[in-house]
Amino acid sequence: MSDIKVPIAKPIIGQEEIDNVVEVLKSGMIAQGPKVSEFEKEFSSWVGADYGVATNSGTAALHVALLAAGIGDGDEVITTPFTFIASGNSIVYTGAKPVFADIDLKTYTLDPECIESLITDKTKAIMPVQLYGQSAEMDAICDIAEDHDLIVIEDAAQAHGATFNGKKVGSLADMACFSFYPTKNMTTSEGGMITTNNKDFVEEAHIFRAHGSRVKYHHDDIGYNFRMTDISAAIGLAQLNVIDEFNKKRAENAAYLNEGLSDVDGVITPYARKGSVHVYHQYTIRVEKGNRDDWIDVLTEEGIGTGVHYPIPLYNQPIYQKLGFTGNCPNAEIAASGVISLPVHPSLTSDDLDLVIKAVKKASDKLA
C-alpha cells in the first residue's frame, strides 16, 4: 500500500492551546469548572446564540438536546439518512423513532420538499444535518416546523462558522448541536456544545448532562455524565481565536480544488449556495463514472488520503434494519454510492493541493 502524502485530516494544536491546558492542570480544577462556563459563553456568542451548554461529545449534545426538548418513547423525529450514525442514534437513545427524509443532491442536506409528507401525529421534531460545512435550507424547514408546531434541532457537528442567509449555523433553530472531535473545523480533543436562545431548554439540558440532578445528590430524572472538562474547554477557548482563520483557509483550498477539478470528466465538485458561507469541513466530490472504490484505489496509490462520508444510508445499516427502521431516499442512495471526500484542511500547501488534483485527474483518465 502506498504511503499517504496528503492526509484527509490534520488537527492543528498551537502554543496557546498548550499553555491553556497547562494553566488548567496547575489550577487543580480539571473537571467541569470555570473554563467550561467561559467556553460556553464565548462559543454561544460567536455563533449568535444566547446560551451554550457544553458536553463531552457531539453525540451527547444531540442526545441531551432531544431530551431537553421532551422527545421520548413513541415520538418521531424527521432527519436525513445521509449522515453519521450518531445523528440517528441520538434519536433512538431517547426511545423515539428516526424517520428519514431524502436529501437535496446538490447540497447533500435535508430536502424541505421531502419533509411534510412524513409528518404524523407522532412527529415532534425535525433534525437537519448541516453536512460537510454547509447549512440546509433552514428558512423552509423552520416554516414547516412552525406550521406543524415542531421543534427544530440543527445537527451542526460539521458546520462551525457556516452561515445561512447571513446568520450563523447554531442560531437558526430552537437548538443546535456541535462536535469538537479532532477532525472537526475546531477541536477540544473530544467535546460538544448545545446552543439555543431558550432558557428552559438550557435548564433541562443542565439536568440531563449531570445525572438528572437539579440540586446536588437530589435526582429528578435519569440523567447522564455528559459533562465537558476544563481541560477540553481550555483547548476550545484557544481554538475559538483561530477558527475564522482556519475556515478562511479551508474556503481558499476548496476554491483552488474547484478550479483544478472543474473540467475533470466524471467528477461533480461541491456546490456552495449563494448568500451563505460553506466552511468545508469536508471537500466532497461525487463520481458519476466508474466504481467509487476504484477511484479511491487510484487516489490511495497516488498518496492521497480520502474518506467516504457516508457509504450507507442509515436505514440500510444492519442495526437499523434489525430495529425495523425503513426509508426510501433515492438521492441519499445515489450520494452514498458516489461520494469521496478529499483533503481540504488548513495545513495543506499549494503543492499538496496540486497532488490532489493530479491524482483525481489520473483516476478520471483511467476510469471515466
Give percent of the chain above pLDDT 70. 99
Task: For 340-349, write each residue's pLDDT tens digit.
Answer: 999 999 999 9
Average pLDDT over the chain reads 97
Asked whether the predicted pLDDT for residue 194 surpasses 80, the reply is yes
Asked whether the predicted pLDDT for residue 212 surpasses 60, the reply is yes
Mean pLDDT of 31-45: 97
140 residue type, one letter: A
For residue 159, which of 179, 189, 187 has the smallest C-alpha distance? 179
Task: List the grid coordinates of 271.
Answer: 456546490
| 349 vs 116: CA distance, rounded Å | 45
User: Grid coordinates 416554516 are at which residue?
Assistant: 143
pLDDT band per the 50, 70, 90 thresholds, residue 44: very high
DSSP characters for 16-37? HHHHHHHHHHHHS--SSSHHHH
For residue 223, which of 210, 235, 236 has the smallest C-alpha distance? 210
| 99 vs 88: CA distance, rounded Å | 9
Mean pLDDT of 175-185: 98
Mean pLDDT of 75-99: 98
Give percent of the chain above pLDDT 90. 98
| 285 vs 288: CA distance, rounded Å | 10
- Contact 276/165 with Cβ under 8 angstroms? yes
Asked whether the predicted pLDDT for residue 2 surpasses 80, the reply is no
Mean pLDDT of 56-65: 98
- Alpha carbon separation from 207 to 55, 218, 302 (Å, rounded): 12, 11, 50
Asked whether the predicted pLDDT for residue 92 surpasses 60, the reply is yes
Boundaries of CATH 3.40.640.10 in the chain?
15-240
- Contact 182/11 with Cβ under 8 angstroms? yes
Boundaries of CATH 3.90.1150.10 in the chain?
243-367
- Contact 355/362 with Cβ under 8 angstroms? no
Longest dimension (CA), the chain: 66
Asked whether the predicted pLDDT for residue 1 surpasses 80, the reply is no
| 162 vs 168: CA distance, rounded Å | 6
Task: For 245-263, write each residue's pLDDT tens digit.
Answer: 999 999 999 999 999 999 9
123 residue type, one letter: T
pLDDT, residue 251, reads 98
- Alpha carbon separation from 221 to 67, 101, 204, 209, 364 (Å, rounded): 11, 32, 10, 11, 56
Q: Which CATH class, in words, describes the domain spanning 15-240?
A: alpha beta
| 185 vs 192: CA distance, rounded Å | 13
| 132 vs 357: CA distance, rounded Å | 20
Task: For 307-341, write each residue's pLDDT tens digit.
Answer: 999 999 999 999 999 999 999 999 999 999 999 99
pLDDT, residue 214, reads 87
Sequence-ordered alpha helix ranges (H) in 79-171 = 85-93, 138-147
Q: Which fold has domain 243-367?
A: Aspartate Aminotransferase, domain 1 (3.90.1150)
- Alpha carbon separation from 80 to 74, 106, 159, 218, 295 (Å, rounded): 19, 14, 16, 38, 26
- Contact 19/30 with Cβ under 8 angstroms? no
For residue 220, which of 205, 203, 233, 208 has the smallest C-alpha distance? 208
β strands within the chain, DSSP E: 51-55, 76-79, 97-100, 123-127, 151-155, 163-164, 167-168, 175-179, 192-196, 213-215, 218-219, 267-268, 283-287, 339-342
Mean pLDDT of 23-34: 96
Phi-psi region of 132 (alpha: psi -120 to 50; beta: other; left: phi over 0): left
What's the pTM? 0.98
